[in-house]
């Protein structure tokens, strides 16, 4: 689905940009460094933060299992993006595809949820923040986000959509510092700069590749028209 020609500047930009995007995301996650902006101080009623070392040292830690599940999730998500792009090529109806996606996701997840939480009182909805969270998740995640992703896959393909996954880490860091008062570290700033540079490098490569295809198609069309006219005259 992606043309990779190592001598082409567009392919080189896509490869280098993808590596930079992943590297920037890893820098944000793994390296902190000194603080650029201090976070909001904890009040006495707030619980103290739990460090990563305490989590890993605890006997009931499931970090390794959770990491494997997350890795499996994003691997299957990449496969799903490719399959969904193939579906959109043969059936370009974004709303119908998202509708059936959510229906089958509900049919698969409902028995699992009922098995893991058999207490029926836990499923009673109350008019509080939990109901607001469910409505928000259903509208923006299950509907709007899935519809936008499907539309983007139809127009640009899976690589373009996957590029925004690492970028979301940098956005989360910035939003946390602005709205939640989280501390901003130099590692997050450096990683975000590397990530954004890699993101726009891939975007430039994709745009150059599309322009090359457009020029090649426009050059091929007069030749095809001349061939057809020549056949008609003969």
pLDDT tens-digit profile of 153-163?
A: 888 888 888 88
pLDDT tens-digit readout, 106-147: 899 889 888 888 888 878 888 888 888 888 888 887 788 888
pLDDT over threshold 60, residue 46: no
Q: Is 17 a residue whose pLDDT tops 80?
A: yes
| pLDDT of res. 221 | 56
Q: What pLDDT, in 10s, does the model give residues 172-193?
A: 888 888 888 888 889 999 999 9
Residues 3/11, Cβ–Cβ less than 8 Å: yes
Q: pTM of the entire structure?
A: 0.68
pLDDT of residue 231: 54
Query: What pLDDT sits at residue 190?
Result: 93
Work out the average pLDDT over 11-37. 89
pLDDT at 234 over 60: no
In this prediction, residue 44 carries a pLDDT of: 46
């Amino acid at each position: 689905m992606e043309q990779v020609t190592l001598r082409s500047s567009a392919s080189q930009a896509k490869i280098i940009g993808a590596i930079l995007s992943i590297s920037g995301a890893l820098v944000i996650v793994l390296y902190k460094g000194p603080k650029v902006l201090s976070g909001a101080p904890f009040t006495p009623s707030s619980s103290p933060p739990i460090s990563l070392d305490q989590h890993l040292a605890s006997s009931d830690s499931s970090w390794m299992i959770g990491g494997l599940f997350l890795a499996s999730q994003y691997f299957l998500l990449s496969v799903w993006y490719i399959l969904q792009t193939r579906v959109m090529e043969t059936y370009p109806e974004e709303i119908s595809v998202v509708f059936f996606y959510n229906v089958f996701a509900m049919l698969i997840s409902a028995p699992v949820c009922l098995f893991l939480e058999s207490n029926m009182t836990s499923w009673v909805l109350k008019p509080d923040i939990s109901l607001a969270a469910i409505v928000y998740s259903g509208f923006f995640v299950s509907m709007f986000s899935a519809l936008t992703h499907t539309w983007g896959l139809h127009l640009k393909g899976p690589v373009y959509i996957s590029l925004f996954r690492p970028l979301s880490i940098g956005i989360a860091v910035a939003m946390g510092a602005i709205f939640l008062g989280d501390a901003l570290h130099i590692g997050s700033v450096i990683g975000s700069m590397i990530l954004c540079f890699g993101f726009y490098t891939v975007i430039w490569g994709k745009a150059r590749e599309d322009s090359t295809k457009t020029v090649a198609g426009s050059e091929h069309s007069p030749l095809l028209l001349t061939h057809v006219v020549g056949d008609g005259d003969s």
